[in-house]
Protein backbone atom coordinates (compact mmCIF):
# COMPACT_ATOMS: atom_id res chain seq x y z
CA UNK A 1 0.00 0.00 0.00
CA UNK A 2 1.25 3.46 -0.73
CA UNK A 3 1.78 6.30 1.72
CA UNK A 4 -1.12 8.46 0.73
CA UNK A 5 -3.53 5.51 0.75
CA UNK A 6 -2.60 4.66 4.31
CA UNK A 7 -3.12 8.24 5.48
CA UNK A 8 -6.36 8.50 3.53
CA UNK A 9 -7.77 5.51 5.41
CA UNK A 10 -7.40 7.29 8.76
CA UNK A 11 -8.50 10.68 7.47
CA UNK A 12 -11.52 9.34 5.61
CA UNK A 13 -12.77 7.27 8.51
CA UNK A 14 -12.17 10.17 10.90
CA UNK A 15 -14.21 12.57 8.78
CA UNK A 16 -16.96 10.03 8.14
CA UNK A 17 -17.40 9.36 11.85
CA UNK A 18 -17.15 13.05 12.71
CA UNK A 19 -19.70 14.15 10.11
CA UNK A 20 -22.17 11.39 10.97
CA UNK A 21 -21.90 12.30 14.65
CA UNK A 22 -22.51 15.97 13.87
CA UNK A 23 -25.51 15.17 11.70
CA UNK A 24 -27.07 13.08 14.47
CA UNK A 25 -26.33 15.55 17.28
CA UNK A 26 -27.33 18.74 15.52
CA UNK A 27 -30.21 17.02 13.72
CA UNK A 28 -31.67 16.13 17.09
CA UNK A 29 -30.94 19.55 18.61
CA UNK A 30 -32.57 21.46 15.76
CA UNK A 31 -35.47 19.13 14.97
CA UNK A 32 -36.10 17.25 18.20
CA UNK A 33 -36.64 14.10 16.12
CA UNK A 34 -35.89 10.98 18.17
CA UNK A 35 -34.61 9.25 15.04
CA UNK A 36 -31.49 11.40 15.15
CA UNK A 37 -30.86 10.39 18.77
CA UNK A 38 -31.27 6.71 17.94
CA UNK A 39 -29.06 7.14 14.88
CA UNK A 40 -26.45 8.84 17.04
CA UNK A 41 -26.49 5.92 19.42
CA UNK A 42 -25.91 3.50 16.55
CA UNK A 43 -23.18 5.71 15.12
CA UNK A 44 -21.50 5.63 18.52
CA UNK A 45 -21.73 1.84 18.83
CA UNK A 46 -20.87 0.84 15.27
CA UNK A 47 -18.40 3.71 14.83
CA UNK A 48 -16.50 2.53 17.88
CA UNK A 49 -16.32 -1.02 16.58
CA UNK A 50 -15.28 -0.01 13.06
CA UNK A 51 -12.74 2.58 14.24
CA UNK A 52 -11.25 0.07 16.67
CA UNK A 53 -10.92 -2.61 14.00
CA UNK A 54 -9.31 -0.18 11.56
CA UNK A 55 -7.01 1.13 14.31
CA UNK A 56 -5.85 -2.40 15.12
CA UNK A 57 -5.47 -3.18 11.43
CA UNK A 58 -3.31 -0.11 10.84
CA UNK A 59 -1.14 -0.88 13.84
CA UNK A 60 -0.65 -4.49 12.73
CA UNK A 61 0.11 -3.33 9.19
CA UNK A 62 2.71 -0.92 10.57
CA UNK A 63 4.32 -3.72 12.57
CA UNK A 64 4.38 -6.14 9.64
CA UNK A 65 5.48 -3.65 6.99
CA UNK A 66 8.36 -1.64 8.47
CA UNK A 67 8.54 0.62 5.42
CA UNK A 68 5.14 2.17 6.18
CA UNK A 69 5.30 2.10 9.97
CA UNK A 70 5.25 5.88 10.52
CA UNK A 71 2.38 6.40 8.05
CA UNK A 72 0.36 3.62 9.64
CA UNK A 73 0.90 5.02 13.12
CA UNK A 74 0.04 8.55 11.97
CA UNK A 75 -3.14 7.30 10.30
CA UNK A 76 -4.10 5.34 13.42
CA UNK A 77 -3.50 8.40 15.60
CA UNK A 78 -5.83 10.46 13.40
CA UNK A 79 -8.57 7.98 14.30
CA UNK A 80 -7.92 8.58 17.99
CA UNK A 81 -9.00 12.21 17.61
CA UNK A 82 -12.58 10.94 17.47
CA UNK A 83 -12.45 9.61 21.04
CA UNK A 84 -12.76 12.94 22.92
CA UNK A 85 -15.29 14.19 20.36
CA UNK A 86 -17.41 11.04 20.83
CA UNK A 87 -17.23 11.36 24.62
CA UNK A 88 -18.27 15.01 24.45
CA UNK A 89 -21.17 14.23 22.10
CA UNK A 90 -22.22 11.34 24.33
CA UNK A 91 -22.47 13.65 27.37
CA UNK A 92 -24.26 16.34 25.37
CA UNK A 93 -26.70 13.77 23.99
CA UNK A 94 -27.45 12.17 27.33
CA UNK A 95 -27.93 15.54 29.03
CA UNK A 96 -30.36 16.64 26.32
CA UNK A 97 -32.38 13.41 26.47
CA UNK A 98 -32.94 13.58 30.27
CA distance 78 to 96: 28
CA distance 3 to 15: 19
What angle, rounded to 10 degrees, do the helices at 3-31 and 34-64 form?
A: 170
Overall domain count for the chain: 1
**pLDDT tens series, the chain, 98 aa:** 566 688 899 999 999 999 999 999 999 999 989 999 899 999 999 999 999 999 999 999 999 988 889 999 999 999 999 889 989 988 988 888 76
pLDDT one-digit tens code per residue, 43-64: 999 999 999 999 999 999 999 9
User: Which residues, 6+ apart, have CB-to-CB distance to 59 below 8 Å?
Assistant: 72, 73, 76
- Domain of 27 in residue numbering reads as 3-97
Q: For 59-90, give the DSSP string.
A: HHHHHH-GGGHHHHHHHHHHHHTHHHHHHHHH
What integer pLDDT is reported at residue 92 of this predicted model? 87
Amino acid sequence: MENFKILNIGKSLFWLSFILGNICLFGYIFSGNQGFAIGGYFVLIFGTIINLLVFIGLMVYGLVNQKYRSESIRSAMILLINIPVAILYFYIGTSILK
